Each structure stands twice: as C-alpha cells, then as structure tokens.
Amino acid sequence: MLKLAFSDPHSGVFRVWNKLIALLIFVSCIVLALDSIPEVAKDYEHSFSVIEWFSVAIFTIDYFGHIAFSEKKWRYAFTMWGIIDLLSILPSYLMLLNLTALQGSKVLRLLRVARVLRVLKLARMMTANGKSTNPVLDNLKIYFIVLFSVLMISSTAMFFVEGELYSPEVMVAGQQALDQKAAPGAEPEKFMPTDPITGNAIPEDKRFFTSIPTAMWWCIVTLTTTGYGDMFPVTVGGRLVAAVTMLLGLVLFGILLNVIGNTLMLVLFGEKTKE
C-alpha cells in the first residue's frame, strides 16, 4: 500500500496522499504569510509552529517516499521534482539546527521566506493524476495553481527584497547604531533605510511592504492591471521583482484565455480546441 501512494496514479491511496500534500502546501503557505505580521505571529506562535512542523514531517515522508519507490531511486533526488521536494523542507531544518553561520537576522529571514518554494510542489500535482474525464476542471486547476504559486512567490520576494530594508529589526538596529555615534548631549539622527544599490533613502510614506499579506494586495493589482495602484516598489530590487511579476501576469492572462476558449468549445460544440 505504501508503494502505491508514491508510484500508482490510479490508486485511491495515491490520490488521497496527493490531496493531503496539496492541502498542507496551501495551509503552510497561508501560515507563512500570516507569520510575517508581527502581531499575529506573536499571538499564534505555538499554533503556527505546530502546523509548520507537522507539514515538514509529511513533506519529509513524501520526499523519502519518492526516493524509495522511484524507478531512479537516489537519482530522483537530483531531478527537478527531487530538488523541489528538498527545497520544501531544507529551510525549516536549517532553522532548527540553529547553526552559527545562520545566526544573522537577514539569513534567518531568508530561510523563513524560502519556505514558500514548497508551493512549487503543486506543479507535480498538476501532472500526477494522469488523464481526466473533465478537461474543463483540469484547466481551472492548472490556472488557479499557477495563480496561487505566482501570488505567493512574488509577494514573498517583494516582502523580502524591499520589506527587509525597513523591517522592525533593521529599524531598531539602525537607530541604535546612530544613537551610539551621536555626540553626548546631541540629538541623534533619525535612521532612514536606503536602497543598497542606489543609496536613495526610503521615506516613511513609501514603506509599503511590511508583511506578505500586504504585498499580496500589490501582487494582485500588478497581475491584473497595467499599473501598480496604491502601492509600488522604490528600490531597484523591488522593481525587478515587479517587472517579473508583470510578465508572469501576461502568462496567466494567456492561460485564462485558453481555459475560457476550451470551455466555450466544450459547451458550444462538445469538443476541445486543437492544440
């Protein structure tokens, strides 16, 4: 039965296992987003930790299960799916080890947001079940999986690239450094985060990306319109993320048109459009 869960797409055990993996991917990504809000992270720290490590345990079983029952055995670990499976659990284990080299707040922050890469495991869900009798439903699944993946990765990337520059930890550390340099009795300067590439200061009214859910609003607006809306990046790194996000928005629009086209052909003529 265990082998069927990893090697036979037509078995009920395989379908149940894949649905569990997909559910945990969605839940863990939502937890990752909520965990970026300091107030929420503090109030639900224990619950988020339980969900995270339960998910990591299941993902670990999934990783070694595919290695054990794959035709390629350990060579599976070096395939695209094997690397994606490893990336879905590696950041969490590195954080658990608490190595000296990982003590810096920026490195730990990177490991936290790197967990979003587990959303790429959903790509295997799209191809794992083989052919379906409902192509319309399959197309919708593909569209929403791609949309969710782009939303999570782009929002998390923007939060890390731009929001990192004015995170609470950075702001406190920066202000403390200025306070120490100030002459005795003199009024210390107010710390201003800057773009590491251009050196331009980031004013308070331009510090938008304070959490992943906040960045999600920007991402949705960017994916569905030609402009930024009420939020926009001000750093070079943030603008690069925005440029890639807009290009992915075009890809998503193409997928949506394909879904609509195939659905109309099935409804009106009872046949699928030719590839």
Contacts of 103 (CB under 8 A, 6+ apart): none
* Residue 149: C-alpha distances to residues 120, 196, 204 (Å): 7, 28, 30
Task: Report pLDDT digits (tens) over 112-124.
Answer: 888 898 998 888 7
Q: What angle do CA 125, 35, 234 make, to 5 degrees?
A: 95
Evaluate whether 4-128 and 165-269 have a shared fold: no
The CATH architecture of the domain made up of 4-128 is: Up-down Bundle (1.20)
Q: What whole-number distance in Å separates Cα of residue 210 and Cα of residue 221?
A: 17
Locate the domains of the chain by residue range. Answer: 4-128, 165-269
Q: What whole-number distance in Å separates Cα of residue 112 and Cα of residue 104?
A: 12
* Residue 72: C-alpha distances to residues 75, 78, 118, 140, 239 (Å): 5, 10, 22, 32, 41
CB 112 within 8 A of CB 91: yes
pLDDT given for residue 54 in this prediction: 96
| Range in 23-32, 139-148, 242-251 the model is least confident about | 139-148
pLDDT-based confidence at residue 22 (cuts at 50, 70, 90) = very high
Task: Report pLDDT digits (tens) over 212-226.
Answer: 999 999 999 888 875
CATH number for the region 165-269 comes to 1.10.287.70
Instruction: Give the predicted TM-score (pTM) of the model.
Output: 0.85
**Which is nearest to 146 in space by CA: 9, 36, 259, 227?**
259
